[in-house]
Chains A and B, each alone.
Chain A
Amino acid sequence: GAGVSQSPSNKVTEKGKDVELRCDPISGHTALYWYRQSLGQGLEFLIYFQGNSAPDKSGLPSDRFSAERTGGSVSTLTIQRTQQEDSAVYLCASSRDRMHEQYFGPGTRLTVT
């Protein structure tokens, strides 16, 4: 079946601009996660959704970062006023629920110039 998809695959933006990253989870998966992968910090958890609610937002690095999930499916990660340190690969994952393994999408590579 279809896996987790993310768009765009690459995004180049100027410092100070806002960006939106999209994630389409595997159909029927109720849990959705965002992670960030960067050279300096490795793989970091950002936020976890169960359905449309986010019981764990502890990994969001600043209030410039926000995420939402609608219809228990698609999620959007928004970064406002991007900074160069936001440059990274943003990975989305989904799972049947929080008790099961996570399946990852291909990621969005964000470059802030």
Chain B
Amino acid sequence: AQSVTQPDIHITVSEGASLELRCNYSYGATPYLFWYVQSPGQGLQLLLKYFSGDTLVQGIKGFEAEFKRSQSSFNLRKPSVHWSDAAEYFCAVGTTGTASKLTFGTGTRLQVTL
């Protein structure tokens, strides 16, 4: 069975600073990988996805993520954080050859200081 680890429960960064949120997955085959963001009281918004091909994927709101098979990682990055990026971020992996039945990490709460 697949699993996802987000080792950082809470991260604080200053506005304008760069950001990297870590995600490690456990899965036997090539995974489908996702990053979602959740603002308080809201549902999940898809930031970006990796299915195949280029290992560096671009998403919305200036986010990008890099798939590294050798490290089983799919870290999320943003070069300059805005105060509105404060939210909870979830990494997820899909089941074999599909994007169904997502398994989520426990989330990383991002706080942005002004």
Q: Is B53 an interface residue (CB 8 A)?
A: no
B: contact size bracket: 20 to 34
Q: In residues 49-104 of chain A, which contact B (Cβ within 8 Å)?
A: 56, 58-59, 91, 93, 95, 98-104
Q: Is the CB of A107 within 8 A of B102?
A: no
Q: Is B63 an interface residue (CB 8 A)?
A: no
Residues on A with beta carbons closer than 8 Å to the beta carbon of B42 = 106-107
Assembly CA distance A59 to B103 (angstroms): 11
Q: Is the CB of A104 within 8 A of B44?
A: yes
Most A CB within 10 A of own CB, among B36, B49, B102, B106: B102
Would you call the interface of chain A mostly helix, strand, loop, or mixed? strand
Smallest Cβ-Cβ distance to B46: which chain A residue: A101
Residues on B with beta carbons closer than 8 Å to the beta carbon of A45 = 101-103
Q: Is the CB of A98 within 8 A of B43?
A: no
Q: Is the CB of A91 within 8 A of B43?
A: yes
Q: Is the CB of A99 within 8 A of B46?
A: no
Q: In residues 13-39 of chain B, which contact A (Cβ within 8 Å)?
A: 34, 36
Residues on A with beta carbons closer than 8 Å to the beta carbon of B43 = 4, 91, 104-107
A: contact size bracket: 20 to 34
Hey, what's the 0/1 contact readout for B42-82 against A, CB within 8 Å counting as 1? Answer: 11111001000000000000000000000000000000000
Smallest Cβ-Cβ distance to A31: which chain B residue: B100
Instruction: Say how far A21's CB is from chain B's closest CB, in angstroms.
Output: 14
Q: Is the CB of B46 within 8 A of A103?
A: yes
Q: Is A43 an interface residue (CB 8 A)?
A: yes
Smallest Cβ-Cβ distance to B45: which chain A residue: A104
Q: Is the CB of A102 within 8 A of B102?
A: yes
Partner among A43, A99, A106 whose Cβ is within 8 Å of the Cβ of B104: A43
Binding site for A on B (CB under 8 A): 34, 36, 42-46, 49, 90, 92, 97-107
Instruction: Enumerate the 9 nearest inter-chain pairs by beta-carbon distance, A residue then B residue, closest first.
Output: A43-B104, A98-B100, A104-B44, A104-B43, A106-B43, A98-B98, A101-B49, A45-B101, A42-B106
**Interface CB pairs A-B, < 8 A, 11:** A33-B100, A42-B104, A43-B90, A43-B107, A58-B101, A100-B99, A101-B49, A102-B102, A104-B44, A106-B43, A107-B43
